[in-house]
Amino acid sequence: MARYENIVILTGAGVSAESGLGTFRDEGGLWAKFDPMKLATPEAFEADPDTVLGFYNARRANLADAKANAAHFALAELEQNWMLDGRANYLLVTQNIDDLHEQAGSAGLLHMHGELLKTRCTRCGHLFSDREDMTRERPCPGCGKAGGLRPHVVWFGEMPLGLDQIYAALDRCDLFVAVGTSGTVYPAAGFVAEARRGGAHTVELTLEPGEISDLFEETHYGPATEVVPHWVRGLG
Ligand code: APR
């Protein structure tokens, strides 16, 4: 197997599914129960902040006892070995807003859709780790004013985070791996095409073929806790 130097991994909700956190578009997924346009847009927050904050408070509470699974640990182990082998670059881009990659020890990690366990003040911009409920009455620990707290999560219609860093990494990578993502939401769904343009080998590790599966040169289907550790062990 070729020796790769620059890897970019993209994860989606499927990598956290076996930790008990729901996905979005599978049977019974989050967007089957809730309307994202009423809960995950700036307009929804403007119109009904209490409902939007309540939705994210519930998801934050649900995260409290979620544990990283074998797929998260396999990716953290891959990172450690990658660096120990003296290979050039490793970047793990996640669309997930949970903290399971951190729990497993991932370091070179970029949350392009933000983080559920961080709160931001829309008045002063103060950004802080937070496991408490967000309410309109709660004062910002930065400016002391109430009424400005929101989850540090990227909503539909907002710019994902870290895109400059991501595209620079995609242009230079020789290995691109997508784990547990349906490939339905851009710009993440376009990363595989970007990696191919740069000549990277492309791998999809997910439960079943999705919208962009035919863009991957190598695909392995099955639960992430089986497919990811197996693939990592087989990597040259
Ligand atoms: N193991 C591996 N993959 C799985 C598993 C599992 N146990 N269970 C589900 N999957 C796969 C599904 O086959 C699907 O391809 O995970 C993917 C989940 O797709 P989505 O629910 O669309 O989640 P994701 O791709 O992360 O959504 C992208 O959409 O709503 C926005 O911001 C949200 O980050 C999210 C983005």
Name every residue whose Cβ is closer than 8 Å to that of residue 81 and which is 6 or more positions away in sequence.
Answer: none
H or E element, residue 149: strand 149-153
**For the whole model, what pTM was predicted?**
0.97
As for ligand 1, residues whose beta carbon falls within 6 Å of it are 12-14, 17-18, 23-26, 29, 95, 113, 180-182, 184-185, 206-208, 210, 223-224
Q: Which atom of ligand 1 is nearest to the CA of 96?
A: 34
Instruction: Kindly list the averaged pLDDT for each block of 10 residues, start to end, along the chain of length 236.
Output: 91 97 91 92 96 96 95 98 95 98 98 98 98 98 97 97 98 98 95 98 97 96 98 90
Ligand 1 atom showing the smallest separation from residue 97 Cα: 34
Atom of ligand 1 nearest to the CA of 95: 34
Q: What is the pLDDT of residue 113?
A: 98
Tell how far the Cα of 86 is from the centroid of ligand 1, in angstroms.
32
3-state secondary structure of 129: strand
Which domains can be identified in the chain, with CATH numbers?
Answer: 1-21+68-113+160-236 (3.40.50.1220), 22-65+115-153 (3.30.1600.10)
Task: Please check whether residue 72 is in contact with residue 103, taking contact to mean a CB–CB distance below 8 angstroms.
Answer: yes
**Maximum CA pair distance of the chain?**
57
Res 2: pLDDT: 76
Helix, strand, or coil here: 74?
helix
Q: DSSP per residue over 7-44, as a string?
A: EEEEE-GGGTGGGT---SSSTT-HHHHS-HHHHSSHHH
CA 8 from centre of chain = 13
Cβ pair 232, 205 in contact under 8 A: no
Phi, psi of 128 (to 5 degrees): -150, 150
Res 145: pLDDT = 97
The alpha helices in 181-223, defined as continuous H runs, are 191-197
How many other CB atoms are found less than 10 A from the CB of residue 203? Answer: 20
Q: pLDDT at position 84, please?
A: 95
